[in-house]
Chain A
Amino acid sequence: MIETASEAGTSIVGMLQADAGSLLSLGGRTAGVLQVSDWAFVATNWEYLLAGTVVTMLLTITSLSLGFLAGFPAGAIEVYSSGRLSDVVSTFGVLLRGTPIVVLVVLVHFGLPLPRFGSIPWLEVDLTAFLSATLALGLRSGAYQSQVFRGAIQSIDDGQLAAARSVGMSSRQAIRHVVFPQALRRSLPGFQNEFTIVLKDTSIAFAIGLAELLTRAENLYLQPGQGTAVLEVILTITAIYFVLTFVTNRSLEAIHRRYSIPGGTE
């Protein structure tokens, strides 16, 4: 396994050398950036960056899930409930949306008495930092998702609810069987947007040293003698972020098409 991996590594290095060679020959001024040896350095650390990619993906999923679990009920409460609960929910939303995400991550990580967990071997992830990042990114995303859902619920015509009530459904049944299924479909474009935002914002966990992509990128080029590889490392993780975003968008668009209402405009 390891042998094949290193073989793959060398072949990538070979390709990169060829590429970089032609790039370098374009002119003397490009010498110094995008050097063959720096690309080789990235290639030899592919497994380290792969683990970072996995952490980034996991953090995206846990944060979005928490965001959905918090945001969907919050959006519904803002529409259907009045009084104290609704006030509390909307105040939380305003606070979360009004705080820079870096501040939130740092606040949660150093401000909350979170239990100390160990770390996962291959991923080298400090679970406490992962939990902090999930809480901060998830709750912030929930605050934004609540607005997506609130808007979607409010966009459903009142006549839908009246029709459901007129056949004898309770408010709860009408909301569950008539309003929510339509509102969730209308939320998908907004949710897709939120997905890509959270995916890229996981890089904020850099502030608490969580070993996701950006943190690992820095760990690589800050090694003694690797200072020249900054651009190569950053370009590599940029490409990874781009591929993840692209694939996510395409998948969510496919889901949207799959669940869109035939003949409808949504």
Chain B
Amino acid sequence: MSLLHFENVSKSYGDEEVLHDVSFQLDAGDVEVIVGPSGSGKSTLLRCVNRLTEIDDGVISLEGEDIHAMDENTLRRRVGMVFQDFNLFAHRTARGNVTLGLTEVLGLSKHEADERAEQYLQQVGVADQADAYPAELSGGQKQRVGIARALAMDPDLMLFDEPTSALDPELVGEVLAVMRELADDGMTMLAVTHEMGFARSVASRLAFLEDGQIVERGPPEQLFEQPQHDRTDEFLGELTDLNR
């Protein structure tokens, strides 16, 4: 049984269809990278998985269970999300960002939550900044705290919505390194990113999304070396040039 299953998923905002009949499956431990031009529906696709956005048609299931039959807060506990703009809680320290979900959602004591936060901040390499507020952190540090916040909930699946797009170029590496380690540890990941180096070396599969449809999907080397569609070739070519 697959971990995440999209079956003919469609979503519209008014008259505009953002996702059209999207189907794919992710097994536990898979790292799926989604690429596509701006407005192709990538972020919407991610937000449908934890129901920050509700789909109009089709079925999404997590470990065989229809996510729309689940309590949305229970679902979100099992699906971690990392945002492009970090969205760290501005009034809480790095540690406080991680502990809030632990105490409020998982019901951990303050002491247990602090300990677990320490462990995850350590894992992403920002333990020395535990008492710093988001405004005192660099973009790379913020994003790593964001990852720790999601990981600390012990999710089955992690969603990354352009996690490095808001970062200065020299800070991208530290965030990608954390993601790479996560993948090596066997975390199932669904990531929207245009970091082609990461996609090539880490992704088990790459999907090219355009106009709300998956144009092509497969192992990264296949899409890079022998794309079935001209459009895939063109888009990946542009991205690779940009990354250089």
Using a CB–CB distance below 8 Å, which chain A residues touch chain B? 157, 159-160, 162-170, 173, 177-178, 181-182, 185, 261-265
B104 within 8 A of A: yes
Q: Write out the residue numbers on chain B whose beta carbons fall within 8 Å of the beta carbon of A160.
A: 87, 89-90
A-B contact pairs, 12 of them (CB 8 A): A166-B52, A166-B76, A166-B83, A168-B73, A169-B100, A169-B104, A177-B104, A178-B91, A262-B133, A263-B133, A263-B134, A264-B90
Quick one: given A167-B100, A167-B101, A173-B104, are A157 and B87 in contact (CB under 8 Å)?
A: yes
Q: Write out the residue numbers on chain A whose beta carbons fall within 8 Å of the beta carbon of B177.
A: none
Chain B residues touching A, majority SS? mixed
Q: Write out the residue numbers on chain B whose beta carbons fall within 8 Å of the beta carbon of A182.
A: 90-91
Q: Write out the residue numbers on chain B whose beta carbons fall within 8 Å of the beta carbon of A166.
A: 50, 52, 76, 79-81, 83, 150
Nearest CB in chain A: distance from B85 CB, A: 6
Instruction: Report the 5 A-B pairs with minimum CB-CB distance, sorted nearest first.
Output: A263-B135, A167-B101, A263-B136, A163-B87, A159-B87
- Inter-chain contact A169/B52, CB cutoff 8 Å: no
Using a CB–CB distance below 8 Å, which chain B residues touch chain A? 50, 52, 73-74, 76-77, 79-81, 83, 85, 87-91, 100-101, 104-105, 132-136, 146, 149-150, 153
- Inter-chain contact A163/B73, CB cutoff 8 Å: no
Q: In the complex, A245→B103 CA distance in Å? A: 41
Interface centre among B88, B101, B133, B149 (most CB of A within 10 A): B101
Interface centre among A164, A167, A177, A261 (most CB of B within 10 A): A167
**Nearest residue in A to B146 (C-beta to C-beta)?**
A163
Q: In the complex, A181→B97 CA distance in Å? A: 14
- Inter-chain contact A264/B133, CB cutoff 8 Å: yes
Total inter-chain residue pairs, C-beta < 8 Å? 80
Q: Write out the residue numbers on chain B whose beta carbons fall within 8 Å of the beta carbon of A177.
A: 100, 104
Question: Among the listed A159, A169, A170, A185, which residue makes an inter-chain contact with B91, where contact means beta carbons less than 8 Å apart?
Answer: A185
Quick one: given A185-B91, A263-B133, A264-B90, are A167 and B74 in contact (CB under 8 Å)?
A: no
Q: In the complex, A178→B80 CA distance in Å? A: 18
Q: Write out the residue numbers on chain B whose beta carbons fall within 8 Å of the beta carbon of A169.
A: 73, 100-101, 104-105
Nearest CB in chain A: distance from B180 CB, A: 22
Q: In the complex, A246→B91 CA distance in Å? A: 29
Q: In the complex, A31→B240 CA distance in Å? A: 90
Q: Write out the residue numbers on chain B whose beta carbons fall within 8 Å of the beta carbon of A264.
A: 90, 133, 135
Quick one: given A162-B52, A177-B100, are A261 and B133 in contact (CB under 8 Å)?
A: yes
Question: Among the listed A162, A170, A173, A181, which residue makes an inter-chain contact with B87, where contact means beta carbons less than 8 Å apart?
Answer: A162
- Inter-chain contact A159/B52, CB cutoff 8 Å: no
Q: In the complex, A173→B52 CA distance in Å? A: 16
- Inter-chain contact B73/A170, CB cutoff 8 Å: yes
Q: Write out the residue numbers on chain A whose beta carbons fall within 8 Å of the beta carbon of B105.
A: 167-169, 173
Q: Write out the residue numbers on chain A whose beta carbons fall within 8 Å of the beta carbon of B50.
A: 166
Question: Among the listed B83, B85, B101, which residue makes an inter-chain contact with A168, where contact means beta carbons less than 8 Å apart?
Answer: B101
Q: Write out the residue numbers on chain B whose beta carbons fall within 8 Å of the beta carbon of A162.
A: 52, 83, 87
Q: Write out the residue numbers on chain B whose beta carbons fall within 8 Å of the beta carbon of A261.
A: 90-91, 133, 135
Nearest CB in chain B: distance from A255 CB, A: 15
Q: In the complex, A162→B85 CA distance in Å? A: 11
Q: In the complex, A262→B135 CA distance in Å? A: 7
> Given A169-B101, A263-B135, 11 more contacts at CB 8 Å?
A159-B83, A160-B90, A162-B87, A166-B79, A167-B105, A168-B76, A169-B73, A177-B104, A262-B136, A264-B90, A264-B135
Q: Write out the residue numbers on chain B whose beta carbons fall within 8 Å of the beta carbon of A173.
A: 104-105
